[in-house]
Amino acid sequence: MDISTFITNYREAFGAHAPLPLLFRYDDTPIAETEKTNGCFFKRLHDVRQGQPASLNADNIGCGGGKFYTGFAPMNAYIPDFVSQKEHYKQTPEMVTGYIRDLDVRMTDKAFLNFMRLDQAPSFDHMEGLLFFATPDILSGLCAWAFYDNNDADAVTTLFGSGCSTVVATAVRENRLKGKRTFIGLFDPSARPYVGPDELSFVIPASRFTSMYDTMRQSCLFGTHAWNKVKTRIEHT
């Protein structure tokens, strides 16, 4: 798989105005000096989208949930009560505990989680996934591409969770299982202030991208009347 080839195909499919995805992967070494981010680390990803890579770790992620869902720290005991009784995102702490158990977050043995815009990545090697920030029209194309060669009911999936869990933790687990799911996220009200009002996330884990890379040009994103109309609207937004 070649990054420059994919970017060329992506630009042809979605137009020059569609933002490039972010590649994220664990590494032993950082790719950028990154200051501590208090609260949600999605604040930092705004800079990554503008071309400033970030290297996250247990020291510069200021949110306890963010440290946990990225595998840099064990779960703090207060999280189930906080998510249920403070944030009111789940009816009971037990429901939060069950969700976390099923997500099966494991500690990473790497020192850093590096995020970079795709045009700044040297290769797809060792990546956990690609994170797209997508408007409804772009999301339509990404989902159509994911559905093209996959009839599974969960080919495109939405799960409960924080922004970091629906981006990082789900991709890591899917890769561990060699799964084929893709994930729509950023429904978390706590993360919403740090993305555009018309944006959601779409994550393609590495285990799924290896096959989707080859099907992109075969899908409706190239040469179909319906998608060309959507692409024209993306280009003029």
Model pLDDT for residues 94-148, shown as the tens digit of each residue? 999 999 999 999 999 999 999 999 999 999 999 999 999 999 999 999 999 999 9
**What would the pLDDT profile of 61-88 be if each residue is shown by its tens digit?**
999 999 999 999 999 999 999 999 999 9
What CA–CA distance (Å, rounded) separates 94 from 64? 19
Evaluate whether 79 touches 56 at the Cβ level (below 8 Å): no
pTM, full prediction: 0.96
What CA–CA distance (Å, rounded) separates 125 from 98? 33
**What would the pLDDT profile of 121-132 be if each residue is shown by its tens digit?**
999 999 999 999
Confidence class for position 237, pLDDT limits 50, 70, 90: confident
Tokens for 17, please give them. 């105005």
**What would the pLDDT profile of 217-227 be if each residue is shown by its tens digit?**
999 999 999 99
The full set of domain ranges for the chain reads 3-235
Evaluate whether 114 touches 31 at the Cβ level (below 8 Å): yes
The residue type at 194: Y
What CA–CA distance (Å, rounded) separates 234 from 137? 7
